[in-house]
Structure 1
């Protein structure tokens, strides 16, 4: 076990708002063992940036990790040539060219239909009624699981990410996760014959044509759903909340002084939708007097690195003038998020501008509650549609 200093946390408070605790950790114990999480946390941005690339030490291959046990060994849980091979296999689905030529127009059409439905009412929960279906419809297209509803996509995604963050070992959370992964397997089985008959750019189709085994195919679709639903959902709703909470920032974006992409990227730095990534120590390693022993569990705390006071001038604020080029929202190494281009297109080119164009007087209509530390976003967000 690592000889890192022990840092105690209060789990419920950490879930409600991890940032005050992470700030204390960066100042007092930037590499620390947290017994409540059973892991050693690396919290400073430059440490994370360097160590994420050291895959021979901080390995993504985690046979006993929650994601592997619950979802199968996807490309995110592989390193080196195995990871690179599967990443190449899925690239035709998520490449910048495919996003531009195939997915963006589909995103726009689906989002317009959702906005048409919302226009019939005077208010809504922006998370449930807009961000969730926009993200879900996009993910249905990208994965190829077009036969399910956006709500079902959200359900199975949430079940899996709750399972992957279930470090307390709650049996009900685990059971729900198993139910969700079984459902996804059924949906893949339903769609495979049609996609083999009529191939397309979807993740199922592209992997199948690349010759990946069915186990690999299924594990990677589950990976795409576990991250590809909640991250855009939380980033869409969260960025809208940030802009409505900072009217001057919204006015600048609307005036064309700042892009929608910049507004989203500053939100992703400030409140990281994916707050951490786990690693397994593969070989003994020492850094700054702290020894990491084989099989130690390590969390790279992206959300903490994105608020590092030594990197960002105004780390705890939503500041569109801030240089956030050092942000590690999508990761920093070989496991940089493969879906980053699709996320940027969906959020910055479609979901944000179309929403504010349709409802120019959009306003908050009550308290917005946030939750989570491994995955973080608004839980509910009442708004008036004006």
Structure 2
């Protein structure tokens, strides 16, 4: 086991607000072992940025990891040529060209339908009554699972996210995750014949056309759902909350002084919807004087790196004008998020401008509690619609 300094956390407090502990880790023990998580954490941005690329030590191949056990070995749990081969296969689905020419119009239609349902309402919860639907409908298009209700898409995504973060081993969480993956498999099976006969650019279709093994195709679709629903949902609602709670920046984006993309990118740095990425230590390694042993579990803490005070001028402040070129919100190495272009389009080009365009007087109607450290976002964002 690693000889990194031990840092104890209160898991409930860490889930509610991880930032005080992460700041202490960066200052006192930037590489530390957290027994409550059973993992060594790397918390400084530059250490994460450099070492995420060293795949021969920090391996994504985790045969006993929660994601692999619960969802199958998807492309994110592979390294080297095996990983790059599958990234190339799915590129037609997530390329900037496909996002612009195929998915964006579908994103706009789905967002317009969600906004129409809010018309005439006095109040709404932006998480459950807007962002959840917009994100899920986008994911239905991209995956090819147009036969799945958007509410079920959100349910199965959340169930897998909970399962993959279930380091405490709660059997009820595991059982729910298994139920969610079974639902995805049923929906995939119901779509395969149609997409084989009339293929489109969806994730299911492009993998079948490329001859990807069916089990691998299914695992990659589950990966897309686990990372393509919760994070955009939370970023849409969370970025809207950030603007509503910082009216000076809302005024600036409406005046054209900053862009919606700046708002989204800064929110993704500040809150980091994907706060952590796990690795397995593949061989003995010394990192900054700390021994890492084969088989050790290690977490790259993106949510900490994105608030590194040695890198960012105002790390704990939402400021869309500050320089965030060093942000690692989508990762830093060969596993850089394949859905980054789709996320930027959905959130910065569609959901946020359409929401604030439809309701120019929208305002917060209460507190917006946040939760999570591996995946973080608002639990609700109550607003008045005007």
How far residue 166 of structure 1 moved from its aligned partner, in angstroms, is 0.2
Distance 1:149 1:287 in 2: 47
Alignment partner, residue 143 of structure 1: 143
Aligned length: 386
| TM-score, normalisation: structure 2 | 1.00
Residues 147-179 of structure 1, C-alpha deviations (whole Å, 9 max, x = no match): 111110000000000000000000000000000
Rounded to whole Å, the distance in 2 between the matches of 1:321 and 1:157 is 33
Inter-partner Cα distance in structure 2 for 1:122 and 1:142: 32
Residue in 1 that maps onto 2:46: 46
Give SS of 2:375's match: coil
SS at match of 1:55: coil
Aligned equivalent of 1:363: 363
Partner of 2:108: 108
- Report the Cα distance in structure 2 between the residues aligned to 1:106 and 1:348, rounded to whole angstroms: 15
Query: How far apart are the structure 2 equivalents of 1:277 and 1:327?
Result: 15
Instruction: Determine the C-alpha separation between the residues in 2 that align with 1:320 and 1:147.
Output: 38
Alignment pair present for 1:303 and 2:303: yes
CA distance in 2, matches of 1:209, 1:197: 10
Q: Deviations over 1:290-333 (max 9, x none)?
A: 01000000000000000000000100000122111100000000
Which residue in 1 is equivalent to 2:134?
A: 134
Unpaired runs of 5+ residues, structure 1, are none
> What TM-score results when the alignment is normalised by the length of structure 1?
1.00
- Unmatched 5+ stretches in structure 2: none
Once the two structures are superposed, what CA deviation does each residue of 1:1-41 show, in whole Å capped at 9, x if it has no partner? 00100000000000001011000000000000000000000
In 2: Cα distance, 1:385 partner to 1:215 partner: 45
User: Hey, what's the Cα distance between the residues in 2 that align with 1:315 and 1:10?
Assistant: 23
Task: Give me the CA root mean square deviation.
Answer: 0.4
Aligned to 1:349: 349
Match of 1:37 in 2: 37
Report the 3-state secondary structure (helix = DSSP H, G, I; strand = E; otherwise coil) of the residue aligned with 2:93.
Answer: helix
Contact 2:262–2:321 (Cα < 8 Å) also in 1: no
The answer for the alignment partner of 2:249 in structure 1 is 249
**Whole-angstrom distance in 1 between the partners of 2:337 and 2:250:** 27
Separation in 1 of the partners of 2:270 and 2:207? 34
2-side partners of 1:8 and 1:113: how far apart? Answer: 47
Quote the offset at 1:115 in angstroms.
0.5
